[in-house]
Amino acid sequence: MTKPLMAYVNNGFVPLDEAYVHIEDRGFQFADGVYEVVACFGGAYLDLEPHLQRLQRSCEAIAIDLPKSLDELQALVQQAYAKNPFDDAMVYIQVTRGVAPRSHIVKQKLAPTLVITVRELPKPSDEKLQAGATGITLPDIRWKHCEIKSIALLASVMGKQEAVKQGVDETFWLDTQNHVLEGCATNIFAVIDGKLVTHPLDHQVLGGITRDMVLAAAKSVNIEIQEREWSLDEVGVTECMMSSTTNAVLPVCYINQQPIGNGKPGAVSQKLRNILLQQLEDLRQSCA
């Protein structure tokens, strides 16, 4: 094909080389989007309708409004193919939540980003067909590497959305035994029998830089630290607090509408917050 490939981006077709989305597109920053790939043979689509219906279901599941009706999408897919008429083609359709200043929570309704591209459908070689395909097995790691600060944050976005829906600040993830792991964008600590307890660093939690600061602050004032599994219904929980670069450390006083301790910021949380705030102030002064 001599003509340049054409891509649909939001409201029109452009040459593929000139097809861009904004750097604050949530697909780029959070993997906050969904997609479909449809095969097309000589202009005839393989199950286009079920693909588009699944796209709609995927959008609904993460509360993105499909920017076009299914009929309009079907027409756009046909236009995209007409501009890139490979004998055997695969049409890629991606919808993201849209462009917004980077934050897990989206405060305003966004215009979703819609991208459609068409490529030649790859065919297995004759050798591959003769020899057959090969494979390996791995334990299922999808997505079980929370220690990696990955941009694949769709689950965190969904957790934050649920928090907003329920009028709270953060969602905290539990493991299958109800141990508290961390928040969508925070680490969490409890004060249990006067000790500062937090989940140990493993694949289930991000090693927060602020988490380290909180632990160091606790050590500096002789608060005993336990990095171990813990749960909210454990006897002796009097305080909770969450830490992150953006919040330093903040007392968490209610979880699932239940008060933690007396439901007020506790002495340990406040002490640790004051230490961290002083460190930030010292940092500011060091530059003055």
Catalytic residues: 149
Q: Which of 206, 218, 237, 241 binds ligand PLP (CB under 6 A)?
A: 206
Residue (of 198, 201, 188) closest to 149 by Cα position: 201
Ranges within 239-278 binding ligand PLP (CB under 6 A): 243-245
37 binds ligand PLP (CB under 6 A): no
Q: Which of 182, 215, 237, 272 binds ligand PLP (CB under 6 A)?
A: 182
What is the Cα–Cα distance from 26 to 98, expressed in whole angstroms?
A: 6
48 binds ligand PLP (CB under 6 A): no
Q: Choose the binding region for ligand PLP from 8-16, 88-96, 118-126, 184-192 (rule: CB under 6 A).
A: 184-192
159 binds ligand PLP (CB under 6 A): no
Q: Residue 188 Cβ, how far from ligand PLP at the closest point, in Å?
A: 9
- How many residues sit close enough to ligand PLP to count as binding (CB under 6 A)? 12
Nearer to ligand PLP, 101 or 135 (CB): 101
198 binds ligand PLP (CB under 6 A): no
Tokens 């929370």 belong to which residue? 146
42 Ramachandran zone, left/alpha/beta (phi>0; psi -120 to 50): left
208 binds ligand PLP (CB under 6 A): yes
Tokens 């609904």 belong to which residue? 60
What is the Cα–Cα distance from 264 to 241, expressed in whole angstroms?
A: 11
Three-state DSSP class for residue 54: helix
Q: Which of 185, 197, 250, 260 binds ligand PLP (CB under 6 A)?
A: 185
Task: Give me Rg for the CA atoms of the chain.
Answer: 25
29 binds ligand PLP (CB under 6 A): no
Close Cβ partners of 151 (under 8 Å, ≥ 6 residues apart): 28, 29, 30, 31
Question: What token pair was written down for 150?
Answer: 């990955």
State the residues that interact with ligand PLP by CB under 6 A: 182, 185-187, 206, 208-211, 243-245
